[in-house]
């Protein structure tokens, strides 16, 4: 009996959507944009992944509110948000990163903006 190796890109779009919908939208967008694959790039731009963006998460272990890393935020600002700005209907952001996120595009369909304010521990350099 021979075994067949199936790669992620061998799956039909419908199955890819089912898999990707189980993940956080921010993770899908961050992972799929800019990997030089036109099919995944088109999938990532679908409204299902880009209409509600939550840049704030709750730590599973401590239940603390956390923001995304600065490098991840920078990639969204430069690469992702300008390409999906027309799809965004809802944003959840930390107050410290709101200027960066809102300045990355024009959001004509934005109807909900949630701003979280929490203290980030600053470590001296």
Q: pLDDT of 1-50, one tens digit each?
A: 567 787 888 889 899 989 999 998 999 999 888 888 888 888 888 888 99
45 within domain boundaries = yes
Please say if the pLDDT value at position 112 is more than 50. yes
Exposure letters 21-53 (e unless 16+ CB within 10 A, then b): eeeebbebbbebbeeeeeebeebbbeeebbbbb
12 within domain boundaries = no
Q: Given this model, what pLDDT does residue 5 score? A: 81
79 within domain boundaries = yes
Please say if the pLDDT value at position 123 is more than 90. no
| Contact between residue 21 and residue 43 where contact means Cβ atoms under 8 Å apart | no
| Contact between residue 26 and residue 68 where contact means Cβ atoms under 8 Å apart | yes
32 within domain boundaries = yes
121 within domain boundaries = no
Q: Which domain holds residue 37?
A: 24-116
pTM of the complete model: 0.78
Count of structural domains, the chain: 1
Higher confidence at residue 61 or residue 35?
Answer: 35
Apex 62 CA angle, 58 and 64, nearest 5: 40
């Amino acid at each position: 009996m021979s075994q067949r190796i199936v790669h992620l890109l061998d799956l039909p779009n419908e199955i890819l959507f089912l898999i990707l919908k189980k993940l956080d939208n921010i993770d899908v967008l961050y992972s799929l944009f800019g990997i030089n694959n036109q099919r995944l790039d088109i999938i990532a731009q679908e409204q299902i992944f880009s209409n509600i963006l939550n840049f704030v998460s709750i730590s599973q272990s401590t239940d603390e509110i956390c923001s995304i890393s600065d490098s991840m935020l920078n990639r969204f600002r430069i690469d992702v948000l300008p390409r999906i700005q027309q799809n965004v209907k809802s944003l959840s952001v930390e107050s410290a990163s709101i200027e960066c996120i809102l300045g990355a595009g024009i959001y004509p369909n934005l109807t909900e903006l949630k701003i979280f304010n929490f203290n980030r521990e600053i470590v001296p350099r």
